[in-house]
Amino acid sequence: MTRILDPTLRATPPRAATGAARPALLSGATIGLLANGKTHGMAFLDRVAEHLRARHGVGELLRATKPNASAPAPADDAALLAKHCTAVVTAIGD
Amino acid sequence: MPATTHPGIDVDDAWQAIEACFAQKWTDGLPVVPPTEPLVERMLAAGPWRADEVLLHEPVRDRTVTAWHAAINAVMAGCKPEYFPVVGAALIAIGDPEFTLHGPATSTGGAALMVIVNGPVRERIGLHGGGNLFGPGIRANATIGRTLRLVLLNCLDCRPGVLDQSTQGWAGKYTLCFAEHEAASPWEPLHVSRGFRAGQSTVTVFAAESNHNVLVHAAREPETLLVAFADTMAALGSFSPGRSVIVFAPEHAQHLKRAGWSRARTQAWLYEHARRPLADLKRAGKIEAQFLVNPDTRRWLYGPESDRAERGPDAADAHARVLPGDERIFVHRGLGPDDMLLSVGGGAAGGHSAFFPAWSRGRSVPFVTKEVPGEVPA
């Protein structure tokens, strides 16, 4: 028998991260809208926010747009969203 | 029982191993060399990196590729160990934060990862810069480029329909690595123009869409020869504010050399002439609504006077309306002469050069050049 080595990272343990708890309710919650910078991303998120308002009565909206769709969100924006938002919606995949 | 503790699958023989790699979806659709531990150890030993040394970190998905995993994929691609320093340098290059790999790796645009190699390593490992430059048949060219794609597939999950959302992609995604034909170039080697010494070996990476063949056989003067190049660069289908790579065939390069045209002069001429009227772009659906609003794209379209440029009707279809002045507004491919790399490669005969547009309908990503580390002493 010969072992053929796994070329993927599946056996590599991912970096430890704790998933955020599911919010108990969205009524009055501050929602983050993170557009990735691609065309119409924030316009799409604004429509999503309209639905969230109508169906779940969400509260304040916090908007951020990535300067580069290919890079992570700037650390300051990510920190701000994490600090103030109950949940964040991000878009758009083209 | 195999002695290794590295994760993998156990097989009875090589043929079973080849089929098992297909079954595991570890390939690019072509058979791979099954990576056994001795093969991977030998590959790793040919480079200067420790097994756990990080060659590439992709921050959007938080994926880290070490030299060990690079070596596994290099074995699978069919690389000889002596190719590994070039492989590693190329991975470091595409992992450079400026390259923002996530975009070209996952976009609908379907970019290939072009690797241009300069310096003494080309001859040392048999990297080809001559005839059939982009075609099959040369092990170093084929397998070094292939390793990058296998790393994207296997380590970054850039699989079709998963993270790789290419609408169509193109064949260059299998492999696109070649040596610059420095001897046939009218200029200093590409890497010297980018700040390296001639005696250093380097890789230069570029996120490339499929190339256009620029076919010219009856021109000798640069201002005749380059007309077709500029026209090709201004083709509507690939027109964008993005970057370009031109690979001149030696036959075409000779004309530039004889006329004494410098690299800078050639780039300036190409930039100046690779342009189209804004009216054409609007009529062809190349101008998206946000281009008329975003300050950067307005500057691309209208130049330094973009603040005073005609804004047109405040209508949802403003970007599609051809205004009277649009026939006289010329939009250039890219933002300036430095938005292109000029290289030389191919066989001695034939007026067939190549224009590669950059990935993306925007600016794409910058060119990145990295040094290839010296060979590990025996």
The string of pLDDT tens digits covering residues B284-305 is: 999 988 888 888 899 999 987 7
Q: Which residues of B touch A5 (CB under 8 A)?
A: 4, 6-8, 35-37, 40, 72
How far is A68 from chain B, CA to nearest CA, in Å? 9
Residue B294 lies in a domain: yes
Whether the predicted pLDDT of B105 surpasses 70 = yes
DSSP-H helix ranges across B288-364: 295-302
Nearest-CB residue to B35 (from A7, A12, A70): A7
Q: Which residues of B touch A38 (CB under 8 A)?
A: none
Residue B254 lies in a domain: no
The string of pLDDT tens digits covering residues B157-179 is: 999 988 999 999 999 999 999 99
Residue A29 lies in a domain: no
Give the 3-state secondary structure of residue B4.
Answer: coil
Q: How far is CA B129 from CA A43, B207, B252, in A?
A: 48, 20, 15
The set of residues, in sequence order, having a beta carbon less than 8 Å from that of B188 and lying 6+ positions away, is B198, B263
For residues B358 and B240, the answer to whether their CB atoms sit within 8 Å is: yes
Cα(A8)–Cα(B29) distance, integer angstroms = 16
Cβ distance A4 to B34 less than 8 Å, yes or no, reads yes
Cβ distance A71 to B100 less than 8 Å, yes or no, reads yes
Q: Of chain B residues 130-159, which have a CB less than 8 A from chain A?
A: 150, 154-155
Whether the predicted pLDDT of B90 surpasses 50 = yes
DSSP category for residue B290: G
pLDDT band at B93 (very low <50, low <70, confident <90, very high): very high
State the total domains in chain A.
Answer: 1
Residue A13 lies in a domain: no
Domain of B323 in residue numbering reads as 275-332
pLDDT score, position B1: 44
The string of pLDDT tens digits covering residues A10-35 is: 988 777 778 888 998 999 999 999 99
Cα(B173)–Cα(B149) distance, integer angstroms = 7
Read off the pLDDT of each residue in B302-313 and give the average, rounded to a whole number.
71
Strand partners, B215: B352
Same domain for B163 and B289? Answer: no
Whether the predicted pLDDT of B376 surpasses 80 = no
The string of pLDDT tens digits covering residues B231-278 is: 999 999 999 999 999 999 999 999 999 999 999 999 999 999 999 999
Cβ distance A8 to B154 less than 8 Å, yes or no, reads yes
Beta strands at A31-35 and A61-65: parallel, antiparallel or unpaired: parallel
The pTM for the full model equals 0.93
For residues B250 and B347, the answer to whether their CB atoms sit within 8 Å is: yes
How far is B168 from chain A, CA to nearest CA, in Å? 15
Q: What is the mean pLDDT of chain B?
A: 94
B59 touches chain A (CB under 8 A): yes
Same domain for B40 and B151? Answer: yes
The string of pLDDT tens digits covering residues B325-335 is: 899 999 999 99
The set of residues, in sequence order, having a beta carbon less than 8 Å from that of B372 and lying 6+ positions away, is B85, B86, B89, B117, B119, B121, B200, B201, B202, B203
pLDDT band at B311 (very low <50, low <70, confident <90, very high): low
How far is B174 from chain A, CA to nearest CA, in Å? 17
B213 touches chain A (CB under 8 A): no
Cα(A74)–Cα(B46) distance, integer angstroms = 38
Residue position matching structure tokens 């492989």: B87
Read off the pLDDT of each residue in B46-70 and give the average, rounded to a whole number.
96
Residue (of B75, B66, B80, B71) closest to B44 by Cα position: B71
pLDDT score, position B360: 86
Residue A51 lies in a domain: yes
Residue B143 lies in a domain: yes
Q: Which residues of A touch B62 (CB under 8 A)?
A: 14-15
Read off the pLDDT of each residue in B307-312 and give the average, rounded to a whole number.
65
Residue B296 lies in a domain: yes
Give the 3-state secondary structure of residue B11.
Answer: strand
Residue B341 lies in a domain: no
Cβ distance A71 to B60 less than 8 Å, yes or no, reads yes
Domain of A73 in residue numbering reads as 44-91
Same domain for B155 and B37? Answer: yes
Cα(B247)–Cα(B362) distance, integer angstroms = 22
The two structure tokens encoding residue B81 = 């160990």
How far is B158 from chain A, CA to nearest CA, in Å? 11
ipTM here? 0.91
Residue B342 lies in a domain: no
Q: Which residues of A touch B108 (CB under 8 A)?
A: 94
pLDDT band at A38 (very low <50, low <70, confident <90, very high): confident
State the total domains in chain B.
Answer: 2
Q: What residues of A are in the B interface, CB distance below 8 Å?
A: 1-12, 14-15, 39-40, 68-72, 93-94
Q: How far is CA B25 from CA B29, B71, B112, B194, in A?
A: 8, 18, 20, 39
Identify the closest residue of chain A to B14 by CA–CA distance.
A2
Read off the pLDDT of each residue in B318-326 and give the average, rounded to a whole number.
88
Residue A53 lies in a domain: yes
Q: Which residues of B touch A70 (CB under 8 A)?
A: 60, 100-104, 365
Residue A26 lies in a domain: no
The set of residues, in sequence order, having a beta carbon less than 8 Å from that of A43 and lying 6+ positions away, is none
Cβ distance A2 to B154 less than 8 Å, yes or no, reads no
Residue position matching structure tokens 């998206």: B288
Residue B361 lies in a domain: no
Exposed e or buried b for every residue in B97-116, given b needs 16+ CB within 10 A? eebbbbbbbbbebbbbbbbb
Read off the pLDDT of each residue in A4-13 and give the average, rounded to a whole number.
91
Nearest-CB residue to A94 (from B7, B108, B365): B108
Cβ distance B97 to A68 less than 8 Å, yes or no, reads no
Read off the pLDDT of each residue in B197-221 and give the average, rounded to a whole number.
97
Whether the predicted pLDDT of A39 surpasses 60 = yes
Cβ distance B6 to A69 less than 8 Å, yes or no, reads no
Would you call the peptide bond into A92 cis, given omega within 30 degrees of 0 as the criterion?
yes
pLDDT band at B78 (very low <50, low <70, confident <90, very high): very high
Instruction: Compute the count of residue pairs across chains A and B with CB atoms less than 8 Å apart.
Output: 96
Same domain for B376 and B281? Answer: no
Cβ distance A94 to B165 less than 8 Å, yes or no, reads yes
pLDDT score, position B312: 61
Q: Which residues of A touch B40 (CB under 8 A)?
A: 5
Exposed e or buried b for every residue in A12-22, given b needs 16+ CB within 10 A? eeeeeeeeeee
Cα(B75)–Cα(B68) distance, integer angstroms = 11
Rounded to the nearest 5°, which phi and psi values hold at A43? -60, -40
Whether the predicted pLDDT of B122 surpasses 80 = yes
Same domain for B58 and B197? Answer: yes
B312 touches chain A (CB under 8 A): no
The string of pLDDT tens digits covering residues B22-53 is: 999 999 999 999 999 999 999 999 999 999 99
Strand partners, B205: B115, B368
Residue A27 lies in a domain: no
Which of A15, A38, A70 has the highest number of chain B CBs within 10 A, making it the mutation to test binding with B? A70
Percentage, residues of chain A above pLDDT 70: 99
For residues B160 and B230, the answer to whether their CB atoms sit within 8 Å is: no
Cα(B291)–Cα(B274) distance, integer angstroms = 19
The two structure tokens encoding residue B241 = 């504010």
Whether the predicted pLDDT of B378 surpasses 70 = no
pLDDT score, position A16: 76
Cα B60-B64-B66 angle, rounded to 5 deg = 155
Nearest-CB residue to B10 (from A3, A70, A93): A3
pLDDT band at B151 (very low <50, low <70, confident <90, very high): very high
